[in-house]
Amino acid sequence: MAEVILAKYGEIALKGLNKSTFENILMKNIRRRLRGLGKFSISKAQSTIYIESENEESDLDEAYLMMKKVFGISTLSKATVTEKDYDAIVAETMRYFDDELSFARTFKVEAKRADKSFPMKSPEICRELGAKILEAFPHLKVDVKKPEIIITVEIRDTNAYIHSKKESGAGGLPVGTSGRAMLLLSGGIDSPVAGYMMAKRGLVISAIHFISPPYTSERARMKVEQLCKKITDYCGDINFYCVPFTEIQETIRKECPEEYFTIIMRRLMVEIAQRVAGRDGSMALITGESVGQVASQTIEALVCTDAVCKMPVFRPVIGMDKTEIVDISRKIDTFEISIQPYEDCCTVFTPKHPKVRPTLEEIEVAENRVDFDEMVTKSIQETQKVTIRVDGC
């Protein structure tokens, strides 16, 4: 019979009256992610989502890999489906697990009887099916504590599902259940990871990137779009805003004391980002800052940048070491793109000796030498927006 993916959700199950809203968003996200991979039937019952391919071109293994990236799913397994008949369950177990049982040394059977009208109770299913397996594979031993294989039989409303390996899903909450936020996305390692981490808590991510042509190249911008594309598997479609920043940066360099360049630049980035965020429907900003990583990420510097921001700023990697951030970037496959050596507008105008512990007062004095309002408005007017979509959508 058919093979299916069983996806179970974690935190959503605790959502009480809101549960169905979360479930519906999760189902919509799954449909969208699988659209580019073929035709699948997707249904839900009893806190489990069932995915089956509808034709031969629709590869269930590919769908399984994609499902591992969908937030809101806590565990995943591939199961074989059979009718709710004890003999059919035995025959299907022997067929489907022939290889696994031949090579294992120990096993255990677990049974869950959601359909209470099934004539055998769970312990009886375990005992009887276990005995049949021992008969067919005499080299095996039962080990209830640390078995190599756990064969799980689930008797559900419509069918019996039999599976072994259960893997962790992406966890978190379905994207779209927590509102929208604007990610300040550089071409570096940290900011894509920050976006991934907030999408995991159910936020829809938009991204904003600052460019300073001719100091930064078209290829540097393309690299950032590539990063966006990479995280769409996790985050869904992303509104991507590209902001021209050259005039502002050149003016800072000409008019402001060098030691304050970076902080003034970051304050103007945040100012622009929150205004673009407002139009985009984003209610918070996200950055990839981590305390102490560089001079602009000391607490004093963060106080100065936050002073211009009326929205909350989420910094999910703030307490992480670079190695921990790198581990996540490898896991989500952004690392190799991030390390491509293209310039970023932040690094083009780096001062030799940045002020590590600036005060807000001295920053404001330095910044007030110039009226940036018109330049900020112009940058926002010239901002380009594209939507980066999940593959196949």
Give the footprint of ligand ATP on this chain (CB under 6 A).
Answer: 184-186, 188-191, 208-210, 287-289, 293-294, 344-346
Q: Could you give the C-alpha distances from 17 to 22, 43, 47, 391, in angstroms and in order?
A: 10, 20, 14, 33
Q: Answer whether the bond into residue 214 is a cis peptide, omega within 30°.
A: yes
5 binds, among Mg ion, ligand ATP, none (CB under 5 to 8 A by kind): none
Residue 363 burial (CB count, 10 A): 24
| C-beta closer to ligand ATP: residue 30 or 346 | 346
185 binds, among Mg ion, ligand ATP, none (CB under 5 to 8 A by kind): ligand ATP
Long-range pairs of 50-57 with CB within 8 A, sequence gap ≥ 24: 50/4, 50/5, 50/6, 50/7, 51/4, 51/5, 51/7, 52/2, 52/3, 52/4, 52/5
Question: Please, what is the angle between helix 360-367 and helix 261-280, to 10°?
Answer: 80
| C-beta closer to ligand ATP: residue 4 or 184 | 184
C-beta of residue 391 within 8 angstroms of C-beta of residue 36: yes
346 binds, among Mg ion, ligand ATP, none (CB under 5 to 8 A by kind): ligand ATP
| C-beta closer to ligand ATP: residue 89 or 208 | 208
Q: Give me the least distance between CB of 188 and Mg ion, in Å please.
A: 5
Tokens 């673009």 belong to residue: 276
| C-beta closer to ligand ATP: residue 188 or 236 | 188
29 binds, among Mg ion, ligand ATP, none (CB under 5 to 8 A by kind): none
| C-beta closer to ligand ATP: residue 12 or 224 | 224
Contact segment (CB under 5 A) with Mg ion among 43-51, 163-171, 188-196, 221-229 equals 188-196
182 binds, among ligand ATP, Mg ion, none (CB under 5 to 8 A by kind): none
Amino acid letter for position 143 = D
Residue 312 burial (CB count, 10 A): 11
345 binds, among ligand ATP, Mg ion, none (CB under 5 to 8 A by kind): ligand ATP
| C-beta closer to ligand ATP: residue 1 or 339 | 339
92 binding Mg ion? (CB under 5 A): no
Residues 128-167 binding Mg ion (CB under 5 A) are: none
| C-beta closer to ligand ATP: residue 6 or 269 | 269
89 binds, among Mg ion, ligand ATP, none (CB under 5 to 8 A by kind): none
190 binding Mg ion? (CB under 5 A): yes
| C-beta closer to Mg ion: residue 190 or 271 | 190
209 binds, among Mg ion, ligand ATP, none (CB under 5 to 8 A by kind): ligand ATP
344 binding Mg ion? (CB under 5 A): no
**Residue-wise DSSP of 250-307:** HHHHHHS-GGGHHHHHHHHHHHHHHHHHHHHT--SEE----TTSSGGGSHHHHHHHHT
Residue count, binding to Mg ion (CB under 5 A): 1
Whole-angstrom distance, CA of residue 196 vs CA of residue 185: 11
| Sign of the C-alpha dihedral computed for residues 290, 293, 297 and 300 taken in this order | positive
Q: Give me the least distance between CB of 195 and ligand ATP, in Å please.
A: 9
Read off the tokens for 383.
């901002």
| C-beta closer to ligand ATP: residue 184 or 263 | 184
Q: Give me the least distance between CB of 235 and Mg ion, in Å please.
A: 19
210 binds, among ligand ATP, Mg ion, none (CB under 5 to 8 A by kind): ligand ATP
Q: Which residue is nearest to ligand ATP (CB)?
A: 188
Write the CB contacts of 292 (distance below 8 Å, at least 6 apart in sequence).
298
Q: Cite the DSSP H helix spans in 9-121.
A: 19-34, 60-67, 86-96, 98-103
Q: Give me the least distance between CB of 289 and Mg ion, in Å please.
A: 6
Whole-angstrom distance, CA of residue 347 vs CA of residue 325: 20
Which residue ranges make up the site for Mg ion (CB under 5 A)? 190
